[in-house]
Amino acid sequence: MRWTLTESIKKNPKSIKIALIQRITDQISVFRDDLYPYLGGGNKARKMMALDEIIKSQGVNAIVTTGGIQSNHCRAVALYSKKNNIKCTLVLHGDQERLFSESGNAKVIKGSGATMIFSNACEIGKNMDVALRTYREQGYNPFYLNGGGHTLEGGYCYTDELEKLVDSGYVPDYIFLASGSGTTQAGLLAGVTRKGLDIKVIGISVGRTTEKAENCIQEFYKELCKTYGIDGKRAKVIVDDSFLCGGYEKYNNQIKQIADDSMANYGFPLDTTYTAKAFYGMQQIIEKRHITGQVLFWYTGGIYNYLAK
């Protein structure tokens, strides 16, 4: 499929934000968050860099966080730590043998020098606390980082990103994205609120039920608005769990086909865990609900998951 630059780019070639918009159909454009130039790109890298000032100002010299063996978040944290000569402990849930047999994020994590602790899901918090205490006993000043980069700073960087995008001249009617921890979606919603726009931000759940996802995002969105003084009409949180295919990392034949054809069709890789699932959900919603207007797919990155096996 041939893709072209939007008219906005042609009229304003110096606009970096608009230059990240890739039009793939007359109706659908893609925000290329994978082109974020730090820590391997994607939303997890952007959220990690949002903590850069805090980490440096507080003299942090060790980080403890958690994620799966193909975690984009853990990859970003591990690379940030290595670049800044910071100790890093990753409490990983998943099979140890799988980590050492797979590529993608797992390969980056293995080569980062981070300490890896493999944990059952029910013991993640305990193991993170132990790692944090150990660093303190050794004289370090450690930073406890929630899985997925779920921080107010990480959410707000997407509030800021949405505002910059709108200010550069691009205002879609809908934004679709893969919805996991919900930090990115909440940040975008806060940006919509601050700008006083009527953009509908629709998350396609990659693992959680609609009720759980919407409740979590709603609370985080409210906290973002309160913390950063964002006033205005509260945006509606929308998360669709119709495309879970049984849960996290599960997918159907249509999602698999979208992922397999993504490089040829669009020039960027969609992975079955996150972005191909979200892309499929977006396509189905547009078709079944007869959605008109301009649609922006917020591509949060996918190359490492795409190349994992």
CATH number at residue 241: 3.40.50.1100
What backbone phi and psi angles, to 5 degrees, belong to 107? -65, -45
Q: Pseudo-torsion of CA 105, 106, 112, 116, nearest 10°? A: 130
Expressed as residue numbers, the domain containing 271 is: 4-43+151-306
212 and 302 in one domain?
A: yes
**Residue 242 and residue 299 share a domain:** yes
**Residue 171 CB partners (closer than 8 Å, separation 6+):** 197, 199
DSSP classification of residue 8: H
Query: Domain ends where: 140, 163, 184?
Result: 140
Length of the chain, in residues: 309
Last residue of a domain, one of 140, 169, 186: 140
Is the same domain home to 299 and 240?
A: yes
Shared domain check, 185 and 221: yes
Active site residues: 71
β-strand partners of 202: 176, 238
Q: What is the pTM of this model?
A: 0.92
Backbone angles phi, psi at 88, to 5 degrees: -145, 130
Q: Is the pLDDT of residue 255 over 70?
A: yes
Judge if 223 and 297 occupy the same domain. yes
Q: What tokens does 149 get?
A: 């980069």
CA angle 41, 46, 48 (to 5 degrees): 110
- Asked if residue 54 is part of any domain, the answer here is no
Query: 3-class DSSP state for residue 229?
Result: coil
Distance of CA 21 to the CA centre of its chain: 17
Distance, C-alpha 225 to centroid of its chain: 20
Residue 42: per-residue pLDDT: 97
Using pLDDT thresholds of 50, 70 and 90, give the confidence band for residue 18: low
Say whether both 64 and 29 belong to one domain: no
Based on the fold, state whether residues 298 and 171 are members of the same structural domain: yes
- For residues 249 and 294, membership in a common domain is answered with yes
The number of domains in the chain is 2
CA–chain centroid gap for 55, Å, is 20
The closest of 305, 185, 297 to 235, measured between CA atoms, is 185
Tens of pLDDT, residue by residue over 103-115, are: 999 999 999 999 9
Q: How far apart are CA 191 and CA 228, in angstroms?
A: 11
Domain boundary among 77, 110, 140: 140
Task: Classify residue 51: in a domain, yes or no.
Answer: no
CA pair distance 89, 92, nearest whole angstrom: 9
pLDDT of res. 17: 62
pLDDT tens digit string along 134-182? Answer: 999 999 999 999 999 999 999 999 999 999 999 999 999 999 999 999 9
* 295 domain-assigned: yes
Residues 28 and 127 in one domain: no
